Amino acid sequence: MPGEWCVRIAAGGRKNIVLPKTLKPSFIVKYLDQYVVGQDDAKKIVAVAVYSHFRKIARGRVDKTLIMKSNVLLIGSSGTGKTLLCATLSNVLDVPFVTAEATSLAQTRYVNEEIEAVLQRLVDKADGNIEKAQNGIVFIDEIDKLKATDGEQRGSSGESVQHALLKIMEGSQVKLADGRYIDTTGILFICGGAFVGLDEIIKSQTHGYGFIATSQGDNQRILDRLNTRVKPTDLFTYGLIPEFTGRLPIIARFHDLTRELMVRIMMEPKNSLYNQFRDIFKDEGVELTVEPRVFEQIAELATEYKTGARSLRGIFEELLTPILFVVPDNPDIQRVVITTLFSEPSYFRKPAPASAPISS
């Protein structure tokens, strides 16, 4: 039911037909800011898309013929926050959210069954409530791997997966294993992919935009923006079929993470690595201090691994594992300070009581 989303989200029990005033794009972005570092353009684009999407649902006007649904395409290297952004988004919206990988859809001959299973998971996330699931979000990752030219031998071709996805993205009735139907019209589909090599395609297809005078700085900026914009034709050249790209009118680009951003990722978010580990140490009665230099060194290493922010946790945990091994056996340790990645941490202990026997 279109109205139900509004009613449900307007906590407090009062039936409310309008969307809560707080759930504006700016509110969504502020919420995302607490967990996703950087990627400001993408956050804004997604927030506005989601806001408009749910507005349309609230008015009961998402209709295949009336208003085309604006599904979203996120383009960016691996580990730059695409999945994190979607997951965080589903928290703030309080709607069911599932992710699926396009590659695993392509590995089976039974694409439709696989898609059905994804929708079933969405229903499960909504505690079996189909209506709730019908307003959910489905994130389909690795969409760039569905190139039309990739003729998979054992599975389905990328192109046939695109066709299958196209159908549910447009909005259709899908029969679930339990015999019930789910209508995908109100489901927001967000697709993601790294699209390695897309920049070369964009550059090779750059238009002159001769009508803009390039003599002024401002105009040059506009020109640069137009020329770095992903056009449907670029995606077509990349290997997505035109009907499919047509269903993804909103495109948000994720930037590669700089070292500074990686440092911020480790320190700033509410659930940042640093905060998580400080909490673990606090439970042991120990104050953990990791100096900024260490985070810079970790970011440096992670940059070399070229997996975005993905390797940060591994490196950080490797650093802390030996310390976490020592601390529980030594209740006199009060504080641990790590000043660089390549030297032993300093342990600060409680002064031993004068009468206590001296132990090594």
Contacts of 100 (CB under 8 A, 6+ apart): 114, 118, 138, 139, 140, 141
**Least Cβ distance, residue 1 to ligand ADP (angstroms):** 32
**Least Cβ distance, residue 48 to Mg ion (angstroms):** 21
* Stretch of 31-39, 42-50, 101-109, 242-250 contacting ligand ADP, by CB under 6 A: 31-39
C-beta closer to Mg ion: residue 141 or 186? 141
Find the radius of gyration of the CA atoms of the chain: 25
**Least Cβ distance, residue 15 to ligand ADP (angstroms):** 36
265's contact among Mg ion, ligand ADP, none, with CB below 5 to 8 A by partner kind, is ligand ADP
39's contact among Mg ion, ligand ADP, none, with CB below 5 to 8 A by partner kind, is ligand ADP
Contact 348, 334 (CB under 8 A): yes
Place of tokens 């035109």: 242
**Least Cβ distance, residue 89 to Mg ion (angstroms):** 13
Does residue 47 bind ligand ADP (CB under 6 A)?
A: no
Does residue 79 bind ligand ADP (CB under 6 A)?
A: yes
Angle subtended at Cα 142 by Cα 23 and Cα 88, rounded to the nearest 5 degrees: 25
C-beta closer to Mg ion: residue 83 or 275? 83
Does residue 36 bind ligand ADP (CB under 6 A)?
A: yes
Among 39, 134, 135, 184, binds ligand ADP (CB under 6 A): 39
* Stretch of 71-79, 121-129, 292-300, 322-330 contacting ligand ADP, by CB under 6 A: 71-79
**Least Cβ distance, residue 44 to ligand ADP (angstroms):** 14
Does residue 307 bind Mg ion (CB under 5 A)?
A: no
Residues 83-112 that bind ligand ADP (CB under 6 A): 83-84
> Which string of b and e fits 106-129 if b means at least 16 CB within 10 Å?
bebeebeebbbbbbbbbbebbeee
- Residues that bind Mg ion (rule: CB under 5 A) add up to a total of 3
Amino acid letter, 49: A
Contact 290, 327 (CB under 8 A): no
Q: In what order do the strands lie in the sheet with 137-141?
A: 97-101, 137-141, 188-193, 72-75, 250-253
Question: What tokens appear for 338 in the block?
Answer: 């790590």
Question: What tokens appear for 290 in the block?
Answer: 């990791």
Q: What's the rounded Cα separation, in Å, for the pair 51 and 49? A: 5
Angle subtended at Cα 342 by Cα 341 and Cα 343, rounded to the nearest 5 degrees: 105
Does residue 290 bind ligand ADP (CB under 6 A)?
A: no
Residues 63-102 that bind Mg ion (CB under 5 A): 82-83
C-beta closer to ligand ADP: residue 38 or 136? 38
Q: At 135, is the secondary structure helix, strand, or coil?
A: coil
Backbone angles phi, psi at 153, to 5 degrees: -75, -50
**Interacting residues with Mg ion (CB under 5 A):** 82-83, 141
List of residues contacting ligand ADP (CB under 6 A): 36-39, 76, 78-84, 265, 269, 308-310
